[in-house]
Copies of this chain bind each other. A is one copy, B any other.
Amino acid sequence: MKNKNLLSIILLFAIIILAAANLVQYRIYSENKPQNTESMKKESVKDAITVIHERKSVRNFTGEAVDSLLLIDIVKAGMAAPSARNLQPWAFVVVTERDLLDALGEALPYAKMLDKAGAAIVVCGDMNKSATHTKTDYWVQDCSAATQNILLAIEALGLGAVWTATFPYDERITPVIEILNLPQNLIPLNVIPIGHPTGVDKPKDKWKPENMHWNSF
């Protein structure tokens, strides 16, 4: 009699434990349920080719600030660009102070959207690191490659930006040098306003088969 009662109690405990285990497993599964792969591609880990084609010139920002850690990641992407003889003839000035952003926006004819940008990156050529110190030197190519990496990283991170050129125009280069108090060895190639996009700017389809040629003419 007593043994039977004991057995029933043991069995009851076993049931409670198993039921609890079932519940725990169900919760683990629900929490770790794999996401739809298509949405993962589009929303979390956008592949590089997609980002290249979705990148657009964003000129309309919400006015929100841009996280400093993201700005560091963006500059890191810039520094990953190739450069002639690996000279890395560049410097990246990250502008986050409101008065500096506004001063740049007032001075530059095509960077008026700085008033709503959360930050800007100024990509500069460093003449101390550049091979021949001439205006047709590689630094323009190297810094342009770095700029494209920056624009793609911004798109990949869900932010928006637009390349506004300063080089080779003295009337744009001079005010940038003055506002940021750049040392003599730095020439600003461009000013890249960065912010949270309002969503109105869309990528353009620029594929033109006539611009592609096979072998010789």
Chain A residues within 8 Å of B, Cβ to Cβ: 1, 4-5, 7-8, 11-12, 14-15, 18-19, 21-22, 25-26, 28-29, 32-34, 37, 40-41, 45-53, 55, 57, 72-73, 75-77, 79-82, 84, 86, 88, 90-97, 100, 126, 135-138, 140-142, 144-145, 147-149, 151-153, 155-157, 163, 165, 167-168, 179-183, 189, 203-204, 206-208, 211-217
Contact A82–B14 (Cβ < 8 Å): no
- The answer to whether residues A52 and B80 also contact, given A11-B11, A88-B206 and a CB cut-off of 8 A, is yes
- In angstroms, Cα B211 to Cα A34, docked, is 41
CA distance A73 to B47 in the complex (A): 14
Q: A176: shortest Cβ distance to chain B, in Å? A: 11
B151 and A152 contact, CB distance less than 8 A: no
> Cα distance A208–B55 when bound, in Å?
26
Q: Name the B residues within 8 Å of A14 (CB-CB).
A: 11, 15
| B residues less than 8 Å from A29 (CB atoms) | 25, 28-29, 32
Smallest Cβ distance from A204 to chain B, in angstroms? 7
Given contacts A48-B51, A77-B53, A148-B148, contact A165 B141 (CB under 8 A): yes
